[in-house]
Homo-oligomer: A and B are copies of this chain.
Amino acid sequence: MGYGVVGKGVAYAINQYGGRIEKRTGFKLRLLHILDLLDFPDSPDARLITHDVEDVMGDGDVDVVVETMGGLNAAFRFTVSAFERGKHVVTSNKELVAERGPELLKAAAERGVNYLFDASVGGGIPVITPVSECLVAGNIASITGILNGTTNFMLSHMKSHGTSFAETLKLAQEMGYAESDPAADIEGDDARRKLAIISSVAWGAFLDWKTIHTEGIANVTLEDILQATDLGRVLKLVAQSRRLARGGSEAYVLPVMLDRRDPLASVDGVYNALTVGGDLYGDVMFRGQGAGMLPTGGAVVSDIIKAAAPGKRCAALCWDRDAAINISEFSKLIHGFYVRVESPDPDAYRDDFFRRFPEARVLPRYADGGGCDGSAVTPRTVIFMVPSASEGEFIKKIADINAAVAGSTVRFTARLPLTG
């Protein structure tokens, strides 16, 4: 259901690698129907296209339904309907899994079928299966990842090519890495949905994606990226969830200036990566192509085989809305801060800032815009680095300074992880 980029990748993988799959797994995959609103007269699978969902649901030969439609409403209805007909469902639809995962997993379990969604997080990187089946013995303490390919491509490209945010976004759209409406990627919603899904799998408890503190990269400039380099760091959009040793949980998606020796710092371009930290296995990192027709299509196909294999897969995946993970600790987190401010009175701002953050320092500007998009460089801009503060303290003090020096605005904030 859904013959877009991922759906086409699934069809391609089945057509192209069916023989290998049968030889390796004993399963012969046959593509029986393709449900889509459009016709695809030039597709090799044109004869399988249907506009009537009943062609899929009413066909007793259909064991597994693939949902790559995206969206919430029709996808939800059709998925439930497949379960009711005793069919397994495999999806790449992260919106739906993040929003309605608990109900759908429960509905699948009640009907004795599987609902699998490895392709919804990390594209072609196997993450759901390793976390739910291989790292199942110990406790998982943290999940840290670069989970959005669009923003990671943009940040990497700005760094390596010295381009502005606007021209890089345009390039990403031309190359098919960004949607015409890029908000879900740029604002961090895509990454937080994926973080919610993998965290729910790791902890067997529902993490509501809307509760995850999220800041995107809409306001990043080339100068911010160059400043990170000067600090021996790399700016990345990082998604993290943690169970804290003192109790409580936290989860966020934030622009973070990682130490350049951090294994995640070298994950560039459309690559994604995920590090799972725990008390038994230590840190395990998974890295690969986080999106794209073939990797994501391939991930769906391996879930099709799992869904069809005897035995229920759901046990390790089920998570309950009642056992929700409560995120309450964000304001207590302690980070270093990089903050770029615009103020009509930079001197007054600087004075007030140092009064409240005596340990802070001002970073030298790229004053002549050398290599930068000059637009961001105005004498009214000041960039500070605060070595260490809690999120709550930082937000409070910044609000106080902004109130004291009228007309001042924070343009961009990035976190610096504290070492040790």
Interface on A for B, CB 8 Å cutoff? 13, 17, 20-21, 23-26, 118, 124-126, 129-130, 132-139, 204, 261, 263, 266, 279-289, 292, 294-295, 297-299, 301-302, 305-306, 309-311, 315-316
Contact = CB atoms under 8 A, between A and B. Distances in A.
B310 A138 contact: no
A137 B13 contact: yes
Nearest to A283: B288
6 contacts: A24-B316, A125-B284, A126-B133, A137-B298, A280-B297, A285-B288
A232 to B, nearest CB: 15
A315 B310 CA distance: 12
B135 A298 contact: yes
A58 to B, nearest CB: 28
A351 to B, nearest CB: 42
Q: Which 5 A-B residue pairings sit nearest by Cβ, starting from the closest?
A: A126-B134, A311-B311, A284-B288, A137-B301, A285-B287
A204 B282 contact: no
Contacts of A282: 124, 288-289, 292, 294-295
B20 A281 contact: no
A242 to B, nearest CB: 17
Interface centre among A26, A126, A135, A309 (most CB of B within 10 A): A126
A285 B26 CA distance: 27
Given A126-B284, A282-B124, A302 B21 contact: no
Nearest to A289: B282
Contacts of A284: 124-126, 286-289
Nearest to A29: B137
Given A126-B130, A310-B311, A21 B136 contact: yes
A281 B271 CA distance: 11
Contacts of A124: 280-282, 284
A25 B294 CA distance: 31
Contacts of A266: 261, 263, 266
